[in-house]
Chains A and B, each alone.
Chain A
Amino acid sequence: MYLRKNIATSEAGFIFNPATGDSFSANPIAAEILHLLKQGNTVAQIKESLLATYEVEPLRLDRDWDDFFNQLKEANLLES
C-alpha cells in the first residue's frame, strides 16, 4: 500500500491530490501515518511505531488501520 507519488501532505494533516484537485483534512494520527508512509516506512514499521507510542491493542490498531486505508483508497490517494 503506497500513497500516490504526487500526493502532497502537510504537517497539519492537509492532503492534496494535484491530479484531481481534491483536498482532505487528516487528524493528527492520520497525518503522522501519512508522514511515515511518505518517508518510505513499511506498514509493519509504522504499526510497530504506533503500538510503541500509543496505548492501543494490536487488534484495534489493525481494525482502525484497515478503515483508514479504505478511506484513502476511496479518495483515490493510493497507487492502484
Chain B
Amino acid sequence: MNTPDKLLTIAVTGLNAIDSPGPGIAVIRGLREGLNRPVRIIGLSYEILEPGIYMHEVVDKTYQIPYPAAGTTALLNRLQYIHGQENLQLIIPNFDAELPQFIRLAPTLKAMGIASFLPTAAQFAARDKINLFQFGQQHQLLVPRDKSIHSVAELQSCEESFGYPLVVKGKFYDAVVTYTLEQAQKAFYKISAKWGLPIIVQEFITGTEINIAVLGDGNGKMISAIPMRKLYITDKGKAWSGITLQDDTLIQLARDFIAATQWKGGCELEIMRTEKNELYIMEINPRFPAWIYLTAAAGQNQPAALARMALGEDQPVYDDYEAGKIFVRYAWDHITDINEFHQISGKGEL
C-alpha cells in the first residue's frame, strides 16, 4: 500500500486532446487534484502529435508505446522498459482498442508491481456493441434491438424487422442514422471500409441523449455515477459542452448495471430517455469518457477514486454531487519547439 506523502507514479494513455478527444488529459487533471499527494504522470502515446505529450505542466514525461496491432509482447516489452526508467505504480489505459491487451497483461503488470483497475475480459466482451442486445436481455436492461450483418444484402431484413430510421454502426466507432435503403447502403460501405465487418444495424430510439460516467468496485458496488446531458456537440457528435443532471432514475439504472455486471473500473453509459421516460442503454463504453473531469468538478472525482481502489486504499461510496455543473471545452494553440518534436519522433520519449 502507498503512503499518502510518497510520490506516486501513474502512467496514462489517451493524450490526444483533439476535437474528438481521448480521456487522458481529463483523467490526469482528476488525479492531480484528487489524490492529495505528489503525483508524477507518465504519458503513454501512440501518435507523435498527441497534444498531451507537449503539455509538460500536465504530463511529466511521455513514452511512445506500440499500437495494439503490434501484439501483447511488444506492449509488454515497452512497458518493462518504461517501468525500469520510471518505477510505475499504476497504469490507467483509456482507449477501447487497447483495453483487451491491458486486461490480458494485468496479472503480469501486477507481478511487476504495477496496479491497474480494469474490467475482466468477459465483462469487456459482454458490453461490446455486437453483444449488447443479448447483454440487455440477460440483465433485464432496456437495449434497442439490433442485428450484426456481414453483407449489404442483409439490410433488407433489418428494414423489415425494425423499419426506418435505422442506425448503421461500425464495430468500434461511427454511427449514421439512415432513412432510406440507399442511405443505409451508403453508410454500410463507408463504415465497413473504415472499421471492417460486421456492421451493427440498430433500431432507432427517439429521445433525449444522456451520458453517465460510472465507477464500479468489481464486486457489484457502485462507487460513483454522474449523469450528464450534452449542451453542444461537434459534427462528430462529441460533447463540447455538457451539464450534470440530478435524476434518481438515472443513478438507479447505473447502480443496477454495476450490480448486474460486477463491473470493475470506469465506464460510460450512453442512455436515451424516451418521451415515456424509458431509459434505453444505447452503448456502454468500457473506460472513462473524455468529459470525466466534470465528475471531479461535481464532487465525485472518479479518476482519483479509481486510483485509490487500484492501490488497495479505502474508497467510500460517493452519495452526493452538484447538479447544474457545466463544462465548456475549448481549443488552444499550444506552442512547442521543433527539438521536442524531434525527440518524441526520434527517441520515442519526451
B247 contacts A by Cβ under 8 Å: yes
The residue of chain B having its C-beta at the shortest distance from the C-beta of A8 within the complex is B324
Interface residues of A in 2-31 (CB under 8 A from B): 6, 8, 16, 18-21
The chain A residue sitting closest to B228, CB to CB, is A21
Q: Is B74 an interface residue (CB 8 A)?
A: no
- What number of residue pairs across chains A and B have CB atoms under 8 A from each other? 20
Measured in the bound complex, the distance between the Cα atoms of B210 and A21 in whole Å is 10
The SS class assigned to the B binding surface is loop
Determine the interface band of chain A, counting residues with CB < 8 A from chain B: under 10
**Closest residue of chain B to A22, judged by CB?**
B229
Is the CB of B243 closer than 8 A to any CB of chain A?
A: yes
Cβ proximity bits B230-247 to A, threshold 8 Å, 1 near / 0 not: 010000000000010111
The interface size bin for chain B is: under 10
Query: A16 CB to closest chain B CB, in angstroms?
Result: 6
18 residue pairs from A and B, CB less than 8 Å apart: A6-B246, A6-B323, A8-B324, A16-B324, A18-B245, A18-B246, A18-B247, A18-B323, A18-B324, A19-B245, A19-B246, A19-B247, A20-B208, A20-B229, A20-B245, A20-B247, A21-B229, A21-B243
Contacts A18-B245, A19-B245, A20-B208 given; 10 further ones with Cβ under 8 A? A6-B246, A6-B323, A16-B324, A18-B246, A18-B247, A18-B323, A19-B246, A19-B247, A20-B229, A21-B229
Chain B residues with CB under 8 A of A21: 229, 231, 243, 245
Contacts of B245 in A (CB 8 A): 18-21
Cα A8 to Cα B231 with chains together (Å)? 18
Chain B: minimal CB distance from A69 (Å): 21
The 10 A-B pairs of least Cβ separation, nearest first, read A21-B229, A18-B323, A18-B246, A19-B247, A21-B243, A21-B245, A16-B324, A18-B324, A18-B245, A19-B245
